[in-house]
Structure 1
């Protein structure tokens, strides 16, 4: 949200993103208070609940992906020592290209069967574009 806020100069978008930033802050406060309450009740001693540790994907439970603009994302204290978190400087996407079916043209007025799933103009519409350009 913060990155998007800094990427736009549209006042309406900025107002919406300022709201989203505030919601992120309050959610973080909620999580912190919930953690404190769980610890006070003796239900959890670690920040991360342990109930589903056997179920979680062990491949991704100790990695952070480099998705930042700068090269210093791995400089935090969490990235050193015996319990360090692995920092992936060049993460690869998990999965292949999307495979959703084409939408029913009667459901959405913005869908045009003259375009493929990637929005590329085709058929007679492409002929018209070719004549105009």
Structure 2
């Protein structure tokens, strides 16, 4: 169950209208690493967690917080679109929406589709996609996906921070950037805890004797150079403590050349011996 209160998670008041920046902020709402993605990711991970424990609560707390971040950004987008040159844009967009977007810099859909409101799309108008969500049922795998999502999201928020001089926008982004700092740290803390319990390789429950362990810790040099031999991954103890990294400079084939059976006649494929 969710409850809504009227107050925002933080203030969202720009100094002046800026329809171009409103278009840019759409990335933080409906982009691959935007707030809609992390909101759904954390909530679906929580709902699929089989244990009602601290990790489920962690995910629910954070997913619910992200709902408020979407509201915050949507409010900022709406205020940035206040007093935008809608009439001129609508006239231009009616004849050539692409040209209107280029000339005005504003997303024409903000004037034509959403009535000067935010949309569940990214900064170039691509609708948000549920395929952005990672919710595997494996907590360690999901926490690592969460760390990546927050890393990418914070990177984009910081880039947008550098692209405006509006103190109101910067103030809101500063808040979101700080929350992303916390979220990266909390996912790292959860990853650390889970790795202490399970090890670093996902999934930890697969029987090791069913794995081709002779290649489990080989770094295969699939290039003409050998710069990769200088990394931590090329020698020394493996990160899971269960093997030793080895660098293979000249990679051998591990299997024979493939020989496929002829296709059925109805497929009308090229006969196997004809070139």
Q: TM-score, normalised by structure 1?
A: 0.49
- Structure number with higher relative contact order (C-alpha < 8 Å, ≥ 6 residues apart): 2
Greater C-alpha Rg: 2
Question: Which structure shows the bigger proportion of residues in helix conformation?
Answer: 2
Q: TM-score, normalised by structure 2?
A: 0.27
